[in-house]
Amino acid sequence: MNQVNKKITWIGINNISKSVLLHIVIYLVALTTVAPFLWMILTSVKDLNEIFVYPPKWWPSKFHFENYTRVFSAAPFGRFYLNSIFVAVTVTIGQLITCSMAAFAFARLKFRGRDVLFFIFLGTMMIPGQVTMIPSFMMLYWLGWVDSYKALIVPGLASAFGTFLLRQFFLTIPRELEEAAYIDGCSRFRALWSIIIPLAKPALATLAIFTFMGVFNDFIWALIVVNSEEMRTVQLGLAIFRDRYITEWDLLMAGSVTATFPILLVFFFAQKYFIKGITLSGLKE
């Protein structure tokens, strides 16, 4: 009996040790993830001369919150934020519409060559974006759309990844729900809008977060198609603080902190659907 008790005690200690070790590893990983963001926030309220002192100081000797007001006085960042939010929201809404319709067609409609077309469509994800940048720019140049909202918005209104994500989710929705609606005289578009879309909120929220983050943080494409200052996005605006000879790191970090707020707000409001969408999108009926 004593041996049994000792064995049970040893197993309990072993499990506790594993749990403690696992939590230590998790905390270390979380710390390495949060540390750069924390350093950015603290650097944004430091004096420029205090940023490069050695040994490095995490905590500033004096908080310079005026760095945030200087960011908006050094450049028209209000306009930059308006451009970024407008472009990101428009592209997100556009992708939700186009990807949901394409995903519904690939998941529910039966037509010749559907699967072949889907795999070809999916194969475009294998092509690096850098390969299609120049042809896309040439098309926009011929259309006269360079340095306009159309150049920033139209190329991103469709997405192979978004179509694939929503198609996988639509396959998990029972067909009986649509068939019952068809018997009552419901059209396919009405079935998509009234039945599929409400049930696919987790997948739609996931796609919305990915799309908004990608468009809002995009730098290369905006750099290619934007020429005038009034059409610049936030990411291009942050480049103002980097000069050939000096970088204003205090203002750059302050601008970077403010640039993360819209993404954090979108994620916090949609994180419940985001986690559920990532979990369910890989399942199949």
| pLDDT tens digits, 265-283 | 887 777 776 666 555 544 4
Give the type of residue at 221.
Answer: W
- pLDDT over threshold 80, residue 244: no
Give the pLDDT confidence of 77-96 residue by residue, as tens digits.
889 999 999 999 999 999 99
Burial of 23 (0-12, 13-18, 19+ CB in 10 A): exposed
Instruction: Give domain 75-280's CATH superfamily.
Output: MetI-like (1.10.3720.10)
Q: What is the pTM of this model?
A: 0.81
**Residue, of 264 and 92, whose pLDDT is higher:** 92
Give the pLDDT confidence of 3-12 residue by residue, as tens digits.
555 555 655 5
